[in-house]
Amino acid sequence: MSLRSRFHKDADDLVKQYTASIPFDQRLYKQDIAGSIAHAKMLARQGIIAEKEAELIVMGLVSLREQIEQGTFRFDTALEDIHMNIEARLTEKIGDIAGKLHTARSRNDQVALDMRLYTREAIAETIRGLKELQRALLAVAEANKSTVMPGYTHLQRAQPVLMAHHLLAYFEMLERDISRFRDCLKRTDVLPLGSGALAGMPYPIDRDFLARELGFSQISRNSIDAVSDRDFVIEYEAAASITMMHLSRLAEELVLWSSAEFGFIDIDEAYATSSSIMPQKKNPDVAELARGKVGRVYGNLLGMLTVMKALPLSYNRDLQEDKEGLFDTVDTLLSTLEVLAGMVKTLKINSAHTRQAAEEGYILATDVADYLVKKGLPFRQAHAVVAKLVAYAIEQGKNLHQVDISRYKSYSPLFEEDVYKITLDSSIKARNVSGGTAPQQVEAQLATARRIVEDKEED
């Protein structure tokens, strides 16, 4: 099968290799065949081809799909892409009737359809992966709702928090990610088939029927835009980039927390590796790779934005570059979600160590300042008083509970013996505001997270 009838010479072999997309777009076979089956049914329904011809085409396409899935279908680079490979093999199978399948469509709207079908499925898989990681985080949070740990700013111990509160921060990030992918679905779920090469079709096609057959909720309104639009690819890659950034932040903390310097967690051996030279090592390689793979997802987004930045309407061959980056992004994101969910589920939390870390240093300094504020001192003055108190304690090598009350009073007469009642637990309980780390608030957050997860199980 050749599309070069207009030319007097064949394409250079190097050009054939350079322009062929079948090495990577063959993974669109399911979407391409699904679109072709729907198109054949529509052509027969509209009387554009005979019913028996459509039945023969559909049977042939189903057979080809089975061959591909069984590994007996041979893809030919000379046929450029997935569309021509399937059409050529269909012609071998059922004869010239196969040529009628391409009536009232172009490869331009055909590939746009395939990409939308693929991206729509990828969104559903991605959301499932996000939900699974949310469930893993929720399970660990539930098991550690009384575990105290230092909260950090600037990677410095700042204020005590509950471990569950910290983990639920990632639950919230993933919830926003799910929302972004669902929003992306709205603009992905648009049928482009029927747009032709760019101007629409001179046949009495039924695009509403095609939309119903293929499960699209909308039909493209402008044929020029429909064949040249790849916003949905960019949106998926943008949402994926934000998600991977969130996963990288989680991975970074898992790396830090598993180190001897922190000692907050123990990573299951199934999610760690050893050293080729140092037998004592237990390396958090899975988390490190999750952190590292963010770069390729960012790169795919930037690459697609660059492809699109100066394309005149409508279709241009540059759009062939939309596939490899998207496929890589989907594969990278889905595998990262899956492996991190497994890793989180098997984490062991060293609650004694996290509490010890919170007890060290001057993590209750803000609470001491708040103590003075409640006795009438303006916060800025209270801040300065406690800063001097902490400086003194550091010089003396003491913690705040070891400083004598007379020294406290030397900085402010408002201090009384009850200042020693300020503890990690009292600090945490004091943050009893919506969204805070107080046990009552964390319990409410856990309940909300449980409802979210349960609702999603019914999706």
Helix (H, G, I), strand (E, B) or coil at 176: helix
Catalytic residue among 2, 179, 275, 426: 275
Residue 133: name the closest of 343, 344, 346, 341 by CA.
341
User: Is there a contact between 293 and 247 (Cβ–Cβ < 8 Å)?
Assistant: no
CA pair distance 452, 459, nearest whole angstrom: 11
Residue 32: name the closest of 116, 122, 119, 110 by CA.
110
Beta strands (DSSP E) in 92-177 are: 148-153, 156-162
Catalytic residue among 5, 154, 406, 434: 154
Q: What angle do CA 68, 74, 79 make, to 5 degrees?
A: 110
The H or E element containing residue 265 is strand 265-266
83 is an active site residue: no
CA pair distance 15, 7, nearest whole angstrom: 15
Residue 459: name the closest of 235, 169, 123 by CA.
123
CA-only gyration radius of the chain, Å: 30
CA pair distance 382, 372, nearest whole angstrom: 6
Per-position b or e across 221-241, b if 16+ CB within 10 A of its CB: eebbbbbbbbebbbbbbbbbb
Residue 33 is classified by DSSP as H
The H or E element containing residue 140 is helix 107-143
Residue 386: name the closest of 416, 364, 353 by CA.
364
CA pair distance 101, 116, nearest whole angstrom: 20
154 is an active site residue: yes
CA pair distance 109, 223, nearest whole angstrom: 9
Helix (H, G, I), strand (E, B) or coil at 24: helix
Torsion, CA 293, CA 298, CA 302, CA 304, rounded to 10: 70
Which residues carry out catalysis?
Answer: 154, 275
